[in-house]
Structure 1
Amino acid sequence: MSICARVSEDLAEPLAGSAPRAAAWLLIEQTGPWGPRALTESHFHPELGRDLQELTRGTGVEIALIRRPGKHADRPPSGERIVYLAHTAPGRSWVRTAHLRDPHVLRDLDYAAVGAGDHGGFGADYEGDPLAFVCTNGRRDRCCALLGRPLASELAAAGHAQVWEVTHLGGHRFAPTMLVLPYGFTYGRLTAPTAKEILDATHRGRVVPEFCRGRSSWDRPGQAAELAVRQNHAVEEADALTVTQRPDPGAPDTWTVQVHHTDGRAWQAEVRRTAATPARPESCVKAPSNPDRYDVLSLGPLPAGVGATTA
């Protein structure tokens, strides 16, 4: 295991509350090698990449490039490419897919609407097996390549047809990491057996909290609180929980988070952000630092009839 992932695991750094924040995902097939900033440093159109970054800024839409596991010839792509557009809110998640010859049409999407849950008729409903995206971009962090690429290849060889490599999911030190759609949960520190367990659970509409970093629908305090409820109350159904949060005006870097179950149960958590110690590298190419961590200080049942906090 290379440095940043090994150090994070040795320090028992918690996974919960470390997932990327995205209300929606735009995932674009791009074969060949990727640079550290793959959207503008690959065989993808750099001007289009810059335009898409600007168009999605502040909309809640996260963009990444994807490719099939295996060897990647250093040549421009030809023909159609697959594009996935997904929204991850519980009970309102969807995945749309299209085969595009010219990705410049992606400029025409209303990304503010996508981030709010409206796909605007893009593509067609995706109705296949759950989609899995394993971070493998070694030009961004070597842990992702050394740990992620073998995992993606093994999953594909085991018959999981909808496994892709992806350029970036954040949290290099939690490698290998994986995003699953339609639900938007991100996982970390995976092995082939645990990743297969997660894909099977996702197929059944369930979550494996032990290896979960959080659901991208929620800000990080909400991610930590949701996973605390799942771990303490054995809630496995992917869409069973919704989260609302508000900052605590009397305690800096602290949030009150309410977690509501579709069966009527509800919990309230106090979540605090602190700087992780001792310092550790967030990436193999960065000097040691003190990344944020989100700890659930308390968790208890919310009395029936108590309204939700505001986000």
Structure 2
Amino acid sequence: MTTTGRFFCADAARARGDSMVGTAPHGTAWVLIEYRGGWPANGFDGLALEPGTKALVFAAAQAARARVLLVRRHGRQHHQGPPRWAVLRYDGTGAHRQRWGTWDRDEELTQIVQALDTPDLNAPAFGTASLDAPEEWGGRPVVLVCAHGLHDACCAVRGRPVGRALSERWPELVWECTHVGGDRFAANVVVVPDGVYYGNLDAGSSVAVVGEHLAGRVRAEHLRGYTDLFPPQQAAVAAVLDRFGPAGRHDYAVARTLRDEDGWQIRVTGRPPGPAAVDVEVRARRTPQNRLTCRGPATSSAVVYDAVSIRPA
């Protein structure tokens, strides 16, 4: 996977044994814009779109705290019809709240603004949760594979083989996407609107992990975290999954989070056959200074969240 003399942040992170637990960026809304040309290093921000349209979409996404990602099918071929856009939201119920549309002209992307301004994508104005979603997957979650090589080399080197493997298995569900965070954990896969981040994947493990996810089983291995939770809470849920085995995305919930001088006391409640409630103690620590990305030569430290105890509530 490496080239002699060249630095790859994902290789270095694996050699160090970097923990990826609790590293999923917080957020519950996503904007996907299919863009079939080359992706700028800074993604949507770098696109040469009509300025007024771009400003409207950017402002609406900021107001909704939505992440904007450029997407494309693997291989950049076999395009049918105009490119698509989507707004997806996680609401905690498991419903796949999605609004899809198409665009030929830049100005048509203003449809995204209306979708972002509608909190409930199940509202009558939008019909069902998957209105305008391709019929072949009927509102199932979307699988995003970060393959943004201009942002970080590891996203391309590790992401594209994963994109190929997943696309061959679930061609209707899988899109390659721009930067999702955590370059050193490439290949990264995000399932939306479930809001689940997976990392350190390769072609084989990605098919297994996504297959389990689609079957309603999230495993602790390769899990970075749930995006509706904050890092210590993500670490607590991951620890419960690691201790008691895989579970559905909504089988565990964080019921209480208490901060103390040593860290956090987090109560996680569950559904059968998992435990009804457990208390997880999480502590944070900083790593030594390391080079964490391929593009940046500067070093920095990262925060690691460790679950130091798990006990019945």
TM over 0.5: yes
Q: Which amino acid aligns with 1:230?
A: L
Aligned equivalents of 1:276 and 1:250: distance in 2? Answer: 19
1:237 CA displacement: 1.8
1:159-180 Cα shifts (integer Å, max 9, x gaps) = 5431101112100000010011
| Structure 1 partner of 2:109 | 103
Alpha-carbon distance change, 290 to 93 in structure 1, aligned in 2, over 3 angstroms = farther
Alpha-carbon distance change, 47 to 134 in structure 1, aligned in 2, over 3 angstroms = farther
| Structure 1 partner of 2:265 | 256
| Structure 2 partner of 1:285 | 295
Choose from 22, 30, 37 the match for 1:25.
30
Aligned equivalents of 1:60 and 1:226: distance in 2? Answer: 24
1:52 CA displacement: 2.9
| Structure 2 partner of 1:175 | 186
Is 1:40 matched with 2:79? no
1:255 CA displacement: 2.1
1:148 CA displacement: 0.6
1:134-188 Cα shifts (integer Å, max 9, x gaps) = 0011111111011111221232234543110111210000001001134221100
Choose from 268, 272, 275 the match for 2:286.
275
Map 1:20-169 → 2, pairs under 5 A: 20-42=25-47, 44-45=49-50, 47-57=52-62, 59-71=64-76, 80-101=82-103, 102-111=108-117, 114=119, 120=123, 121-122=125-126, 124-126=128-130, 127-169=138-180
Q: Which amino acid aligns with 1:42?
A: L
Aligned equivalents of 1:172 and 1:205: distance in 2? Answer: 27
Is 1:223 matched with 2:234? yes
1:179-227 Cα shifts (integer Å, max 9, x gaps) = 1134221100101111111221122111122011011111111111111
Instruction: Indicate the RMSD between aligned Cα atoms, in angstroms.
Output: 2.6
1:265-288 Cα shifts (integer Å, max 9, x gaps) = 0111122222122x2222111222
Q: Which amino acid aligns with 1:97?
A: R
1:68-126 Cα shifts (integer Å, max 9, x gaps) = 11147xxxx99633223222343244231322231112223445x64xx6565447533
Aligned equivalents of 2:184 and 2:51: distance in 1? Answer: 28
| Structure 1 residue ranges without an equivalent (≥5) | 303-311
Identity, in percent, stands at: 26
Is 1:298 matched with 2:309? yes
CA contact (8 A) 1:25 1:62 kept: yes
Aligned equivalents of 2:175 and 2:30: distance in 1? Answer: 14
Aligned equivalents of 1:215 and 1:46: distance in 2? Answer: 34
CA contact (8 A) 2:96 2:140 kept: no
CA contact (8 A) 2:219 2:246 kept: no
CA contact (8 A) 1:87 1:93 kept: no
Map 1:198-209 → 2, pairs under 5 A: 198-209=209-220
| Structure 2 partner of 1:13 | 18
1:58 CA displacement: 5.7
Alpha-carbon distance change, 79 to 160 in structure 1, aligned in 2, over 3 angstroms = closer
* SS of match in other structure, 2:44: coil
CA contact (8 A) 1:225 1:269 kept: yes
Aligned equivalents of 1:159 and 1:250: distance in 2? Answer: 46
| Structure 2 residue ranges without an equivalent (≥5) | 2-6, 131-137
1:249 CA displacement: 4.2
